[in-house]
Amino acid sequence: MFIVNVEGAIFRDDKWLIIERSKKEEHAGGLLALVGGKVEEEGNSSDILERTVKREIYEEVNVKVKEQLKYIHSTSFVTDSGENVVDIVFLCEYESGEAVPKSPDEVEAVTWMTAQQVFEHPNAPDYLKESIKRTECMKSANILL
């Protein structure tokens, strides 16, 4: 069985909303990441991935994103504690709210960064760089929302 995790690549004014994960987090604590979280059990449900990413973004950083999301890519990984995770990244367009670390147990800091700043940051893991790279490619090809 897999844990299903979703992430939102949120853009505004050619910058990406990037969080520094709390050092308390069991997986990837202290590293830069997109905003997201685990899908919760709901029984029979529609649009659960999309609703989850929107909920997680608001709960963690106080930002609302526009209704339409664009699928970017999916990956799988194993956490430090041995759990198997499927991760799905969506492109999200900023709608409203001041980005703040609303959930300090999960988010240490919030910042808007250019793709280049992400690529050059020492705490940006390869999977974050890959997600930003893929999203930038879609943006360049005008395959956006």
- Mean pLDDT estimate for the chain: 90
pTM here? 0.90
Output the pLDDT for position 88: 97
Within-domain flag for 16: yes
Of the pLDDT bands very low, low, confident and very high (cuts 50, 70, 90), residue 98 is very high
Number of domains forming the structure of the chain: 1
CATH code of the domain covering residue 17: 3.90.79.10
What domain range includes position 48? 3-140
Average confidence (pLDDT) over 111-124: 96
| Under 8 Å between Cβ of 35 and 65 | no
Within-domain flag for 99: yes
Written as one letter, the residue type at 80 is D
Which residues make Cβ contacts (< 8 Å) with residue 27, sequence separation at least 6?
79, 80, 81
Question: Residue 53 to residues 63, 75, 76, 141, 142: CA-CA distances in angstroms?
Answer: 11, 16, 17, 24, 23
Within-domain flag for 145: no
